[in-house]
Amino acid sequence: MAQPPELDKTETLAASQRETQGSRSIEFDKGKQGDALIVAVRCQGKGTIKVTVKPVNVGFPLECVDGEVMTTYNQVGVKGVENKGTVSVQAPSAVRWSMTVGRGEAAAPEPPQSPDVQ
């Protein structure tokens, strides 16, 4: 839990935060045009944390569980993620969390699923 989530070998580190409690904001530097922003969060403890990425105004919640380590990876590929910015985490004091912010090649979009024909 103390270590932030790992990135893939093809991704580069933009910022990280070791295990902490409560709310915090972490700045990340400008990246290359066309790269996606990866926000990986690991948490433990009962409660919901809210993650917000500025200036692109993207956010997501993560439900954390007491006695279990939860990790989520989110890739943000919207216009503006190549700019420098801030990832903010709002977390209750009962939740411990760590985070890694990285940059890498955007994943190919998943094809739409067609309904099963019977």
**What integer is the mean pLDDT of 65-69?**
94
Q: What percent of the chain has pLDDT over 70?
A: 90
> Which has more pLDDT, 71 or 114?
71
**Residue 106: its pLDDT value, please?**
81
Q: What percent of the chain has pLDDT over 90?
A: 73
**Residue 103: its pLDDT value, please?**
95
> Which has more pLDDT, 55 or 1?
55
* Domains with residue ranges and CATH for the chain: 13-105 (2.60.120.260)
Q: 3-state SS string over 63-84?
A: EEECCECEEEEEEECCCCCCCC
